Amino acid sequence: MEIKVSQLAELVNGEIDGNPNLTITNLAGIVEAKNGDLTFLYLPAYEKYFKTTKASAIIIKHDFPKIRKDITAIKAKEPDKALAKIIVTYFTPELKITGIDKTAYVDVNAVIGKKVTLGKNVVISAGCKIGNNSKILHNTVLLDNVEIGSDTLIYQNISIRENTKIGNNVIIHSGTVIGSDGFGFNPDEKGIYHKVPQIGNVIIEDDVELGSNVSIDRAAIGSTIIKRGVKIDNLVQIAHNVAIGEDTVIAAQTGISGSTKIGNHCILAGQVGIIGHLDITDNVIIMAQSGISKSIKKPGKYFGYPAKDLHTALRLEAHIRNLPDYAEKIKSLEKEIKSFKEMLNKKNNQNLE
């Protein structure tokens, strides 16, 4: 593929500094880019690579000082968003899979009986298991009161249990399990745990994307709900009766315990842990490796274990890092105090004499 810089600049409403007729053939990161590549720069940590990148063109912010004449720049308000638009327009790979793979089985009677609804342009890839129907073909069982909306893409080896409702324009990556039993057990008087039947379901609304090896448990009763526009990274656990608000983003290895409610437009960074039955309000950012032990009622950034507002958490972390110095200072002060007391006692004794 060959694309002129002028076309790209027009697409992203950018300003060209350099050769508008320069031809781009590929996209690459600023470190590994080579001649013919377009790269981008928006994080300050990567500015040091601008002097050495071998890219032919680069997307930068309007106020970034361009000190090289041998590279063509596209100046944009938000380089990361500009690059995403270019990827979507010119570089998104065309999917070759269509329809329902031969290794996945559709129970025709179930469809006719309206137990299952499939929208238009649904892709079900090899090795998927959808529903809890006992009929098995090619190691795959399919369809038992499952609704799948239009333009939904289901990659390989995915299990979608009975009564699950999936909206339109949903993408589910390989290895994900939707609708497995919630973790519900009750101990008897002898301390022996007994399973509590999980009779609810999972509802996934439109425009959701689930990464690989995500587990979303069915509700004990009612529904586990993933609302419109949610994006979930790989290896995330969502327990029974959890509700995730619209346009919330959850990064890898996050775990959310049962019946917790996450608001709209939240960001949960990697390895966040949240205990059950909490409420997280809208517009909350939880930094990586934080543990949430109580509800968050105020928008903002939170960090630590247990998590606190970011400003307080960073102050505490700074004090913790300085504990060795504090200990030395305390020892020094104790010596000074002891010396002062000895001197004072000696002076008092002299006065008494």
Ordered alpha helix ranges (H), the chain? 5-12, 79-86, 108-112, 310-321, 323-352
Task: Enumerate the β-bridge partners of residue 280.
Answer: 262, 296
What lies within 8 Å, CB to CB, of 324 at 6+ separation is none
Task: Enumerate the β-bridge partners of residue 171.
Answer: 153, 209
* CB distance 29 to 85 below 8 Å: no
Task: Enumerate the β-bridge partners of residue 225.
Answer: 203, 243
Q: In 3D, which of 19, 25, 36 has the Cα closest to residue 3?
A: 25
Given 62, 138, 173, 240, the catalytic residue = 240
Look at the block and give the residue holding tokens 């529903």: 131
Dist. CA 148–CA 9, nearest whole Å: 38
- Centre a 10 Å sphere on the Cβ of residue 123 and count the other Cβ atoms it contains: 18
Q: How far is C-alpha 350 from the chain's CA centre?
A: 73
Omega within 30 of 0 (cis) for the link into 306: yes
Is 240 catalytic? The answer is: yes
Dist. CA 183–CA 196, nearest whole Å: 8
Task: Identify the DSSP state of 89.
Answer: I
What phi and psi values does residue 165 have, to the nearest 5 degrees?
-120, 120
* Cα–Cα distance list, 319 to 255, 312, 331 (Å): 29, 11, 17
Residue type, 327: A
Phi-psi region of 19 (alpha: psi -120 to 50; beta: other; left: phi over 0): beta
Give the residue numbers annotated as catalytic, written as ranges: 240
